[in-house]
Amino acid sequence: MATVQSGPGVIKLRLDMAGANWPVATTVTNATIGPFSLTGSLEETDCGIVPISKAGGWARLTGTNEDGFGAALGTNVGFSPALNGTLTFETRLELQAQTARNTFIGFSSTRAVDTVEPLTAVTVTITPVAASYVGFFQDSQLTTPEFWYMAYNGGSATAPTTPITGIVGPAIVTAASQVLRVEIDPNGTARWYVDGVLEQTVEGACSTTTLLAAFVGTFGTTTTVSDVDLNYITFTGNRDWTV
């Protein structure tokens, strides 16, 4: 059967947080916010996304006070680097604290309804959870928690397990906004940008055939509620016309 192309070939999703709102303490496990889905422990009394008083349209994504659980805002698991690349995901965000949280921005092969983090980290050790991922993460349990670490797993490149050796880019400044962007080419090469500056490139960073979701997630590490403030998120990919 011949490949037929009709309509838009580029998938573009964008959400400005000026109208994003999903109150905490609801009884569902997933919701729709603009073109993206919100998943996680939404039935908990502290999990959701609510507007905050900040010029330009911002909202606060809150996770839970349970270690390893939280909330994620982004796409469903349905994008292949080989068939839909180049994939991009970008957000402008702020952390109001760098304690008691695990924050992830990027692509992961795992995004369950009761969302868990794609990787965990303690002191100087990374432990992969998802089979394939590319993204930024910050974890308060690390010895040096004030940086965005640029993690990857699932491709031909050996996944880093000691983040202390991989510090690049500017330090995180509490309550200061940063623009984080992740790109994955069809061959699995990944790039990480902070405020428009290319900070890292890795060939074979992830699987080229495993389906991925693009999202920003906040996850608890103690009995304190985790959160991240968002201004916008954007996703782009190419349509696969061969199926």
pTM here is: 0.91
Q: What is the pLDDT of residue 42?
A: 74
pLDDT at 112 over 60: no
CATH number of the domain at 86, please.
2.60.120.200
The residue ranking higher by pLDDT, 79 or 164, is 79
Model confidence at 166: pLDDT above 80 = no
In the chain, how many domains are there? 1
Residue 64: per-residue pLDDT: 79
Residue 243 lies in a domain: no
The yes-or-no verdict on residue 113 having pLDDT over 70 is: no
CA distances from 235 to 15, 37, 71 (A): 9, 13, 18
Tell me, yes or no, whether 81 lies in a domain: yes
What is the average per-residue pLDDT within 195-221?
94
pLDDT in tens, 10-33: 999 999 998 766 655 555 666 788
Q: Is residue 6 part of a domain?
A: no
4: in domain:
no
Ranges of beta strands (E only) in 75-203 are: 87-94, 102-108, 119-122, 125-128, 133-139, 149-153, 178-184, 190-194, 197-202
In a domain, 140, yes or no: yes
- pLDDT for the residue numbered 183: 98
Identify which has the larger pLDDT, 239 or 50: 239
Polymer length of the chain: 243
Identify whether the C-beta of residue 101 lies closer than 8 Å to the C-beta of residue 62. Answer: no
Structural domain boundaries, residue 201 = 12-170+179-238
Please indicate, yes or no, if residue 2 is contained in any of the structural domains. no
Is residue 132 assigned to a domain? yes
Does some domain include residue 27?
yes
Statement: residue 47 has pLDDT above 80:
no
Per-residue confidence (pLDDT) for residue 185, from 0 to 100: 98
| Mean of pLDDT values over 124-147 | 88
What average pLDDT does the segment 199-228 reach?
91
The first and second tokens of residue 167, run together, are 């510090």
More confident residue, 223 or 38: 38
pLDDT > 70 in the chain, percent: 89
Best CA proximity match to 219, nearest among 90, 78, 119? 119
Average of per-residue pLDDT across 131-138: 93
| Of the candidate ranges 17-31, 37-51, 95-109, 185-199, the one whose mean pLDDT is the lowest | 17-31
* Position 1 pLDDT exceeds 50: no
Nearest alpha-carbon partner for 62 in 52, 53, 54:
52
Partnered with residue 179 across adjacent β-strands are: 92
